Amino acid sequence: NIMQRIPRLKPISDKKVLIVGVGALGSHIVWQLARAGIQSITIIDFDIVQVGNIPRWLLGFFAVGKLKVEIINSFLTQSFPGIKCTSIALHIGVDQTIPVNRKPVDAHDYLSNIIRGSDLVIDSTAETNVTNYLSSLCSQNSTPFVWATATQGGWGGIVGRVIPEITKGNWMDFSYHSANGDIPAPAAEEGS
């Protein structure tokens, strides 16, 4: 019924999207992707919901103390029948072996495989080291990459994208020009 009412969304329904960071920004991004009809979403985050997250986060107090990925997964599968949401509690940037199907797997190799199998990777961690790492992995695997950040208070933000063989530049180019002052800083809450 959704695809009949908004047929232009049909081409994206079978895409596989990886979202890293489901906090204040990422939780809303994943919700909008599900609303748009994306049927296969993988979410990665290692953090738990804290009371201080509630004003900016998608869901309410019932989520406090629980892993963000588990709560988002539950919300998506209950709210959007047919969606396949894979949640992974992974701290990116930490050299680690993680259990996958009860077998130890190198986290870097595991993440590389997920990226290789994705049609799009969205980074909403707002962590420079993680963004640099994901950008590099996406480049190696020719996977389109989007990064999104919000300023303090949500007054502004940045969204960038790299589409292999279509767009020029990469996240590192953006980072250089941003640090150099070539790209104006987005609006931020006063006093932050």
The pLDDT tens digits for 69-122 are: 999 999 999 999 889 999 999 988 777 888 778 888 888 999 999 999 999 999
pLDDT in tens, 14-35: 899 999 999 989 999 999 999 9
- Residue 192 above 70 pLDDT? no
| Cβ(160)–Cβ(174) below 8 Å | yes
pLDDT at 3: 63
- Residue 123 above 70 pLDDT? yes
Q: How far is CA 105 from the centre of its chain?
A: 22
pLDDT at 16: 97
Mean pLDDT of the chain, nearest integer: 90
Is the pTM higher than 0.85? The answer reads: yes
pLDDT in tens, 137-174: 999 999 999 999 988 877 889 999 999 999 988 899 99
pLDDT at 81: 87
- Residue 63 above 70 pLDDT? yes
| Cβ(102)–Cβ(76) below 8 Å | no
- 68-79 vs 26-35: helix crossing angle, rounded to 10: 20
Q: How far is CA 152 from the centre of its chain?
A: 19
**Phi/psi-derived region of residue 100, left when phi > 0, alpha when psi is between -120 and 50, beta in every other case:** beta
Confidence of residue 50 (pLDDT cuts 50, 70, 90): very high
Q: Tokens in use for 33? A: 């992707």
Q: Tokens in use for 98? A: 């993680």
Q: Tokens in use for 161? A: 């994208």
Averaged pLDDT, 114-135: 95
